[in-house]
Structures are given as structure tokens and as C-alpha cells.
Amino acid sequence: MLCLFDLDGTLIDSEHGIVACVKHALAKLDVPAPPQEELREWIGPPLRTSFAPLLDHDPVRIEAAVEHYHERFHTDGWREYDIYPGIELLIQRLLTTGHRLAVVTSKPQRHAAPIIAHLPFGDAFLRMYGPHPNSAHSEKASMIAAALADFDADPADTVMVGDRRYDIEGAMTNGVRGIGVLWGFGNRKELELAGAAAIVAAPAELDALLRP
């Protein structure tokens, strides 16, 4: 089976790094940051989509905010994450049972690549898919389609694992089974409304679900 994994909120808890970079970008533009709980909702959607309402949908200010975000992420933010408990064991077991693994993330490749390279199980992923850094869209559907083509994989023998509706919606667009996880930044209602084929609360549950 081809197993596609989201990165933020699925493999790693990146809240600290992402939120710190968002606050940095807004401070550079002299814009007050939303409360911490609201900033958690920024993890998953494209940055430009989240910045727009705070910056009066001004494309020049939005691009400036994105650039300020990237500046801090490049130096510090990419290292500010934790691996979710049980994920490393899950990846090892999936490899042992013969699954092929790849990452499909809304993070630009230049940000996702060093994170994956430094994961203790980073070598398990045969490919990584991320949007163009100038894109205003997460493009999960098109990235999943690219993965299916690259691996010559049958959608019926593929899963997309993620914590937000974008992962599930992208999977469904391609006829792929979307599995929602509850240890990230989404919630059960969001994943159910998106059409998740299954929802798991712990990596061990996902391991059991994907066993041959």
C-alpha cells in the first residue's frame, strides 16, 4: 500500500515554530497577533489565506508577511517541533510490513525538506510533495495526484493520513481513502464533515488499521 502522510499535526507537533513565525511576521508589520488558540487554526491552511483577513486582503502586505514568516522559519522555526509519541514506531512497523511511504505537506519544499531530513525516520519516505512557495493554495489534491502517478499506485490501494480537512478533501478528490488523526490540530467534527473514511486517536490505532 502507498501511505501518504501530512507533516504538521500528523508526524510532528510544529505549533511552537509556526506560531512564533506568524507572530514575528505580524510584529514586523505592526499588526497585533490573534490569541494563541486562534493561531492554532493557522496550522494547515496556506499562509496567505490566514494572513489575508488581518491585512485587509492587501496583496503587497500579505506577501511582506509571508516573506517575514519565511525569514524566521529558515533560521529558527524549522527546528521548533516535537515528534508525536508513537510515530517513530508506527513508521518502522509500516516499513516492516512492506508499505511505501511519502509525505504530502502544505509546507513549501524548502521548509519541509530539512525537517524530514532530520527526523530519525526521515529516510523512510521515498518522496516528499510540497506546494510552490509562491502558491496561495495548499494543493493537496494535485500533490496526491502527483504521488499516485509517480508511484504508479492504485487509488484503492492508497491512503492519505492527516489531521485537517485539506488532507481528507485532497484524498477524496483522487478516490483515495482519507484517514484523519486526532492528535494534531483538527478535530473529529472537521474530519467527519470532510468525509474521512476512518478517524484514529493514536498511532497504534493507525498501525492496526493499516496492517495487511
Cβ(156)–Cβ(173) below 8 Å: no
Say how far apart CA 3 and CA 121 lie, in whole Å.
15
Cβ(17)–Cβ(73) below 8 Å: yes
Say how far apart CA 72 and CA 118 lie, in whole Å.
18
Q: Which residues have a catalytic role annotated?
A: 6
Residue identified by cell 504538521 is 8
